[in-house]
Amino acid sequence: MLHAIHAYAAALPSLSSRRTRLWVVLVTGVITVIGAQALMPNWSILPAALGELAPAVVLAVFLAALACEYLDSSLGMGYGTTLTPVLLLAGFEPLQIVPAILLSELCSGLAAGLLHQRDGNVDFLRDARARRTALQLTALSAVGTLAAVWVAISISKFWLGVFIVAIILAMGVLILATRNRQVAFRPGSIVAVGAVAAFNKGLSGGGYGPLVTAGQVVSGLPAKHAVAITSVAESLTCAIGLTAYLLAGKSLDWGLTVPLALGALLSVPMATVTVRRMKEDAMRGLVGIATLALGLVALLKLVC
């Protein structure tokens, strides 16, 4: 585990690269604008769409999205699972949080897919297996949402939660146990895991990344491919969820959505560079560790 963590730290982008310098300028610019609004409350520096949120809250939301999406785009999991409880603790309502996260993940997932392609972590244009996997996972998302509605009124959510947590924990153990072995690609396993993950997403709105990323790795896909495919598949899953939300007559809270989307988007360039620089065995180890950690968090939430 320590080897994987050290490898992750070593893969972090250095300040010498042009992309990193541009990223630092953009992030510093956003923080400076928000800070200026806090220091000069009588000036209208921030967009009116941010509503009544205090500048300090806007900054905190932006930084939280930046950190959580960096982990999500570099490990394939953790954005919604981590950010949703944080925003709930901050006092936001679920109906504010869910659509805002869906839109921000839609934007950042598509951006991550494009940059993973550009940085050589995956090749959707030439790799038919990668394209097929992303399309399978996306198609299952719509099916999972419909199935989740039916199950939600049929069985206990507690036992459903137990089932999902058990799968996540098992995936984490499997990845760590096989991180130094070459696993044969099994598309059937991806279909099975994708169905469960989409079902989980449709029922709870979270937990998609840990299952889908881990499931692809266990099924024999390289960890870098799995992270990139998860970004694309989850963004399209979010598009389905957001469309359903808007068709139901709900609206977006732009005050929360704007800093979330901005923070998530700005994290992507650094995340894809990190993935490119990491070795495959270290990547598998980190995905396994992250899967186990999120599974344990989900278990604690379930029993507490």
DSSP symbols for 57-120: HHHHHHHHHHHHHHHHHHHS--HHHHHHHHHHHTT--HHHHHHHHHHHHHHHHHHHHHHHHHTT
Per residue of the chain (304 residues), what is the pLDDT tens digit? 556 555 555 556 665 578 888 888 999 998 998 888 878 877 777 766 666 778 888 889 999 999 888 877 877 776 776 787 678 777 787 778 878 888 998 999 899 889 889 888 888 888 888 888 888 887 776 676 666 656 645 666 577 567 666 766 776 676 666 666 655 556 666 777 777 776 766 555 566 777 778 777 777 788 888 888 888 888 887 888 788 778 877 788 888 898 999 999 999 888 888 877 777 667 667 766 776 777 777 677 667 6
Domain limits for position 289: 2-303
Split into its structural domains, the chain has a count of: 1
Question: Is the Cα torsion angle 116, 243, 64, 164 positive or negative in sign?
Answer: negative
CA-to-CA dists, residue 61 to 22, 260, 262, angstroms: 22, 6, 10
DSSP symbols for 203-248: HHS--HHHHHHHHHHHTT--HHHHHHHHHHHHHHHHHHHHHHHHHT
- Does the pTM exceed 0.85? no
